[in-house]
Amino acid sequence: RRQLYEVMVELWSNHLNVTCPSSDVWTTRAAYDRRVVRPHALGRFEDMLIASMTSPAMLLYLGGADSRGDAPNENYGRELLELHTVGIDAGYGQADVVDAARALTGLTVWRPWDEGVQAADVGTFHYHPDWHAVGPVSVLGWTHPNATADGGLDVVTSLGRYLARHPSTARTVATKLVTRFVSDRPDPALVARLAAVYLKSGTAVVPVLRALFASPEFAASAGGKTRRPAEDLLAALRALGVTPDPAATGPDGALGDLCWLLDGLGHAPLGWHPPNGYPDVAPPWLGAGTTLGRWNMHVGLAQSWWKDGLVMPDLATRLLGTAAPETRGALVDALLARLLPGLVVDPAHRTALATFLGGEGPVGDGDTTWLLPVLVALVLDSPYWSVR
């Protein structure tokens, strides 16, 4: 349900990354998704960016919550430019970073030890005028007199709107979308077209997605991207018909099982510690350790290792139907058609799978029972499965 929306939620959560678990954001990260990412995932990037700039989770994660006028913390100002908006090639310098940091001073979060704080306000955003650095600021052509401490929030909003509508930010967003949906090597011409749509639409995301999905580059992109571990796991769950066990809750439930699996593969939700977010290209996910982890995950799902939190259907019924194939070759063909629809499998690879069962002869008792899960895992281990 709403699959594109959830893909975009994951993309923006990764782009405006705030890692968790982290002692800094335990109490604020869930609200970050609810109030920053999810409301704007298919809205305007400008609105999402500004919401993130006053988000307790982001301010705590990048040190902005303690940034004061007498000692601005440059970390958030730098990441705002380098990662969230214009990108490292936009031509900004140290002076731009410093003024971005100065503009962001005074944005903070109520802490339990703050004088006069109410219990209900702990962990919420708070603007502290006395901490704001006043005086003219200039960032990549944006200027503001920044004359009063009380006007600091207006300065932040002005900077956010300017950066969101900057041509370099348009290229950043377009590149992010092309990398996600089309290719690890974004076509500059497609990026330029999408960036133009982004600017024309006032940073609205949906018109950019429509232009992307209508492009010939997207139409020709099938098989051009490699599934990351989370995509691999979700695709396997769907293909095998695995569902959560409603009777199992807590750490022993389905979410506990799935998080444990993804953590072992280095792709736990929200688990990327640097601010640049999980890689969205293939090479970082093709190492021997990750590949072995995927293979173990595939055989574990096929052989129902996680029975406490996940409901595993009968594989033969799920993948072969009620009328089982009469020959091993037909069994392999039926399995490939179900797991790899639309893909052309090399005849030598198909023969190898049949040979694993013992050849092309009649189906034996073990072929649809104890051997079938292993055969399924072999198909999921193949390069055919790893592409999307």
- The 3-state secondary structure of the chain reads CCHHHHHHHHHHHHHCCCCCCCCCCCCCHHHHHHHHHHHHCCCEHHHHHHHHHCCHHHHHHCCHHHCECCECCHHHHHHHHHHHCCCCCCCCCHHHHHHHHHHCCCEEECCCCCCCCCHHHCCCEEECHHHCCCCCEEECCEEECCCCHHHHHHHHHHHHHHHHCCHHHHHHHHHHHHHHHCCCCCCHHHHHHHHHHHHHCCCEHHHHHHHHHCCHHHHCCCCCCECCHHHHHHHHHHHHCCEECCCCCHHHCHHHHHHHHHHHCCCCCCCCCCCCCCCCCCHHHCCHHHHHHHHHHHHHHHCCCCCCCEECCCHHHHHHCCCCCCEHHHHHHHHHHHHCCCCCCCHHHHHHHHHHHCCCCECCHHHHCCCHHHHHHHHHHCHHHHEC
Which pLDDT belongs to residue 1?
67
Q: What end-to-end distance do the CA atoms of the chain give, in Å?
A: 19
Which pLDDT belongs to residue 265?
94
Structure token pair of residue 215: 């492009």
Distance CA 124, CA 111 (A): 8
pLDDT tens-digit profile of 206-240?
Answer: 999 999 999 999 999 999 999 999 999 999 999 99
Which pLDDT belongs to residue 24?
85
Which pLDDT belongs to residue 152?
98
Q: Single out the residue of 365, 368, 371 nearest to residue 316, CA to CA.
A: 368
Spatial contact of 32 and 283, defined as CB atoms under 8 Å apart: no
Task: Tell me whether the omega of the peptide bond preceding residue 112 falls within 30 degrees of 0, making it cis.
Answer: no
Which pLDDT belongs to residue 324?
80
Which pLDDT belongs to residue 71?
94
Task: Please state, rounded to an integer, the average pLDDT across all residues of the chain.
Answer: 95
Distance CA 253, CA 307 (A): 10
Matching residue, tokens 């199992």: 248
Distance CA 62, CA 347 (A): 53
Q: Which regions in the chain score pLDDT beneath 70?
A: 1
